Chains A and B, each alone.
Chain A
Amino acid sequence: MTRYRLALTAGFAIAWIGAAAAAPFAYITNQASHDVSVIDLAQQRVVATIPVGRSPAGVVVSEQAGKAFVSNPDSKTVSVIDLASRRVIDTIDGGSGPVGIDAAPDGKRLYVADWYANALLVIDAATHRRIASVPVGIAPAGVAVAPDNALIYVANRDDDAIGIVDAGSLRQVATVAAGSHPFAVGLTPDGSKLFALNVLSNDVSVIDTRTRQRLATIGVGNSPYGVAFSADGRRAWVTNQHAETVSVIDVATLRVVHTVAGGAYPEGIAVAGQRVVVVSWMDDCVHLLDADSGKRLATIDTGRNPRGFGHFISAQ
C-alpha cells in the first residue's frame, strides 16, 4: 500500500515536471552538422535543432542576457541564439578564428578567443558590437570570466600559459605558467581556483586566482579536454579525450577520487544538478552520468561531431 502510494506520488511529480516545461536544457554545438542540438535533460531528448554557422565549437549560455552564443571557426562568426524562441537572432563578426567563448556573469559582455589573431574579442552582449580586440598569447583557446566580472582568464595554448585580462583596462595584465598546451579552463564557482587542462602533459594546473600561483598539478588521463564543477564547488569533472574517461577531482584535496567511463572521445562536460552531461564527439551523442556514482544513466543522440566546448546548460 505504502509502495503504491509512493509510486503514485512519484508519477504525479514526474507528470508535473514534464508539464512545467522541464528544465534544464543543454545546448550542444555539432561541428560536422553545423547546428546546435537543444536537449531537454529531464525528458532526455532533443527538443530543437538550430542551424548556426560553419563548424560550431564554443558555446556559452547567458541566462542574464537571455541568449546563447556559439563560435563558428569556419565561418569566422558568432551566432546569437535567443533562449526563449530558440532561434538565431544575429550573427557577429568572430575575427579570424573564434574558439573558446564565455559571458560575464552579469550578462553584459561576451569574450571570444580569436585563435589565429592571438587576441581576446570583447563584445557587448546586448548590442552585439565589438568593444575591443585585446592582444593575448599565442593560440588562445578556452576562456573563463571571474564571478565578479572583473577578470578574464584565457588559455594561451602555444605559450603553455594562462593570460589574465582586466575587464576595465582591456589589457592582458598577467600570465601564469601552465603545463603543456592548456586548451580548456574552468573556474570554481567561487572564483578562487582556476583549472587549466593541459592536453599534451595529461594534467591539470590548479591556479590560486588571488596569489596567481600554481597550487597543484593533478595527473589525469590522456588528453584532458573539458572541465565542469558541481554547484557547491566541491567536485570537478574532467574529460580525458584519448583515455575515454572522466576524472572526478575532489576540489578540497586536489586529488582524483574516481575515474569513470567517458564514452568515445569525450569533450564538453557540464553539471546539471545530480547529472553530469558528457559530450561524445566520436559517437555523436551525450551521456548522462549520475553525479554521485558516475554511472551512465542515459545516452541521447546529437548532431554530428558534437563538441559542447563551454557552459552549455540553460535553465530555460
Chain B
Amino acid sequence: MRVSLMAVLLLATTVAWAHGPTRQKVTETVNIKAAPEAVWAKIKDYGAMQDWHPAIDKTVADKGNAVGSTRTLTLKGGGNVVEELESYSDAERKFSYRMKDPGPVPVTNYSSTISVKPGEGGGSVVEWRGAFYRKFMNNDPPPEQNDEAAVKAITGIYQLGLGNLKSLLEKK
C-alpha cells in the first residue's frame, strides 16, 4: 500500500512530457489486397476508429478531420484514451496525432502516424508507427510500467488493428 502510494506521488510530480527515460518506437505494416483508395476510405475518418479497430467501442471527435480535433476513444476493455490530431493529408493518405490522455495504455507522450501507400499488384501497404515513452517517468520502473511493457502494448494495438483492417477489406 505504501509502495503504490509512493508510486502515485512520484508520477504526480512529473508532468506527462518527460525525456529522462528513453523514447521507444514501434512500426507495423500490413499488405492488403485492396486499392489504396478503398483502404484509406476505411480509416480516413479520425472520428470513427471503431469502424476498423476491434478494441474500440466508440469514438467521439470534436472537429472531425480538422487539425486540432480531439477524439475520445472508449475502449471495449474499459477506459478512455484522448488524442489530438496534429496533421492530416487526404492527398498523401496519412494523418498524425498525439495522445493527451493515455488512459489504461502504459505509455507517456505518445505520437503516431498512420498512412496508406500503393502496394504490389494494385494493393496497399498500411504503415502505423508510434513514438512514445514508458508510463513510469522516473528511474527504476516497475515491470508493468517499463519500456518493454510500453512496446508490447503498442505493438499489440497495432497488430490487432491492422490484422482486422486486412480481414475487413479482403473479405468477399
Contacts and interface: CB of A to CB of B under 8 A. Distances in A.
Interface of A is mostly: loop
B6 interface: no
B74 interface: no
Contacts, number: 47
B25 A99 contact: no
A222 interface: yes
Interface stretch (B15-23, B33-41, B45-53, B158-166): B15-23
Interface in A87-104: 96-97, 99
A73 interface: yes
B55 interface: no
B17 A305 contact: no
Q: Say which size band chain A's interface belongs to.
A: 20 to 34
A115 B23 CA distance: 15
B15 A158 contact: yes
Given A97-B139, A282-B129, A141 B19 contact: yes
A183 B109 CA distance: 15
Interface in B78-114: 86-87, 96, 98, 111
Given A96-B139, A97-B139, A242-B111, A139 B96 contact: no
A55 B22 contact: yes
A73 B22 contact: yes
Contact of B20 (A31, A73, A181): A73
Contacts of A74: 21-22
A243 B87 CA distance: 9
Interface of A: 31-32, 55, 57, 73-74, 96-97, 99, 115-116, 139, 141, 157-158, 181, 183, 199-200, 222, 242-243, 265, 281-282, 305
28 contacts: A31-B22, A31-B23, A55-B22, A57-B22, A73-B21, A73-B22, A74-B21, A74-B22, A96-B139, A97-B20, A99-B20, A116-B138, A139-B18, A139-B20, A141-B19, A157-B19, A183-B19, A199-B17, A222-B86, A242-B111, A243-B87, A281-B23, A281-B25, A281-B131, A282-B25, A282-B27, A282-B129, A305-B25
